[in-house]
Amino acid sequence: MLAHEPLPLSARERVLALIALVTGSISLVSLCAVWSLSVREVDLASRSILSSSELGLHAAYAELFRDAKYVDMTHTIHPRMPVWDLFTSPTLGAARASLHMDGFIGRGESFSYAANGFIATSVTLPTDQLGTQLDPPAHWNEFGATIDDVPPTVSLRPLVVIDVRNSTRVDPGYHARAQDVLAWERVHGRIPAGAAVFFRTDWSARWEEYIEQGLPERFPGVSIDALRLLHLDRQVLLHGHEPLDTDMTPSLEGEAWLMHNGYLQVEGVTNLHLVPPTGALVSIGFAKIAGGTGGYARLVAICPSQWEHGMSIAEAPGAPLPSQEHPLRRDADGVLRPKAGAEPTRYCDNAHDRQPLGCPLPAVESAG
């Protein structure tokens, strides 16, 4: 065998080479940091990418993601969630028919399980700056990218969590600095290019208190020197923080710098206490709103299988989803919740003189 020819790849090495090939946004350096590759694995992966066209991402799923631990880092949107004082809260309620349909529903009537076979929810979101959110440059910059300009390549990235709680315990308004980033790197190594860097302060642990008492006047932030280091030197994708603003400076200088330099940020992150400081990936999903200046985000940390927190696919396969303990009914906020003592709907009994969808009811079947 010639010296320049690569040795056969193991299954793990082939998967790692595949990820580098397909995602593009995750460099081999990032993979080395995230998955602890050996020098040989990096070398073999880099030399085999172009000759590995037969590989598929199903192998990556089976090798790395099927047994991983998944942690939700997202706040739920609901009518009483904390919002900035100048914004109004979302509303939820029953969706109503926009027109009359003979034998099915009258105009203005709400849909019901009994009469129509299904229900739907009316959702009013008075701002795109709610809860866990992705801010594009257009939020502050009239020449900036809007949320529907954000490319799909942001959807999966290495995740770095920098813990600054020692400082925020002393000063609740502490702003993470470049020295905090460098201190993290002294322990864990250089932050990989293209990563998402989240700052842990545990500010979100009191989210329920903010619902009742309002947002606190002082909150932790991220300083502009830390943002410059991350973006200009480490070339990360974005940073994220738990509060709903980047900083407490009079002009919000950090957020202004990000938006006018073309960078995204994530606000309203939660559950960082369940995520490792390194070794995980983050899945970034968001609503694609035409011309949007914010994106309602869904953030999920994908952690190594041996991580103590989160759930595996075996524990929560997602299909079929579990049933509610009681029938769903709307509460005073218009939110559907299981209600103990509620009378179950008698589907398809024709008591409403309607022709509900889904009748006769299909049999409930089990896989396998």
Residues 95-127: tens digit of each pLDDT: 999 999 998 999 999 999 999 999 999 999 999
Asked if residue 72 lies in contact with residue 271, where contact means CB atoms within 8 angstroms, the answer is yes
- Give pLDDT, residue 28: 42
Same-domain pairing of 115 and 41: no
- Give pLDDT, residue 352: 67
Domain span holding position 102: 91-124
pTM of the model: 0.84
In this predicted model, which residue has the larger pLDDT, 314 or 10? Answer: 314
> Does 27 fall in a domain?
yes
User: Is the pLDDT reported for residue 287 higher than 60?
Assistant: yes
Total domain count for the chain?
3
Mean pLDDT (the chain) is: 88
Same-domain pairing of 161 and 284: yes
> Does 19 fall in a domain?
yes
> Does 28 fall in a domain?
yes
Same-domain pairing of 285 and 180: yes
Same-domain pairing of 143 and 269: yes
In this predicted model, which residue has the larger pLDDT, 208 or 9? Answer: 208
In the Cβ-directed half-sphere of 20, how many Cα atoms lie within 13 Å? 27
The average pLDDT across 195-206 equals 96
Asked if residue 286 lies in contact with residue 160, where contact means CB atoms within 8 angstroms, the answer is no
User: Is the pLDDT reported for residue 160 higher than 60?
Assistant: yes
Q: Which range is least confidently modeled, 9-18, 229-238, 255-264, 336-345?
A: 9-18
Same-domain pairing of 51 and 138: no
Indicate the residue among 303, 321, 350 that finishes a domain.
303
> Does 186 fall in a domain?
yes
> Does 180 fall in a domain?
yes
Same-domain pairing of 209 and 229: yes
Same-domain pairing of 120 and 191: no
The domain that holds 236 is classified in CATH as 3.50.30.50
Asked if residue 351 lies in contact with residue 114, where contact means CB atoms within 8 angstroms, the answer is yes
Indicate the residue among 278, 303, 328 that finishes a domain.
303
Same-domain pairing of 24 and 171: no
- Give pLDDT, residue 36: 47
Same-domain pairing of 162 and 190: yes
- Give pLDDT, residue 8: 54
What percent of the chain is predicted at pLDDT more than 70?
A: 85
> Does 231 fall in a domain?
yes
> Does 50 fall in a domain?
yes
Indicate the residue among 267, 282, 303 that finishes a domain.
303
pLDDT, one tens digit per residue, over 31-78 is 444 444 444 444 555 455 444 445 688 988 999 999 999 999 999 999
Same-domain pairing of 119 and 166: no
What percent of the chain is predicted at pLDDT more than 90?
A: 73
Same-domain pairing of 118 and 228: no
Taking the C-alpha atoms of residue 132 and residue 243, their distance in angstroms, rounded to an integer, is 9
- Give pLDDT, residue 55: 61
Same-domain pairing of 113 and 191: no
Nearest to 215 by CA among 128, 123, 87, 124: 87
- Give pLDDT, residue 39: 47
Sequence-distant contacts of 328-336: CB under 8 A, at least 24 apart: 330/93, 330/94, 333/78, 333/79, 333/80, 333/92, 334/79, 334/91, 334/92, 334/93, 334/94, 334/121, 334/122, 335/78, 335/79, 335/92, 336/121
> Does 317 fall in a domain?
no
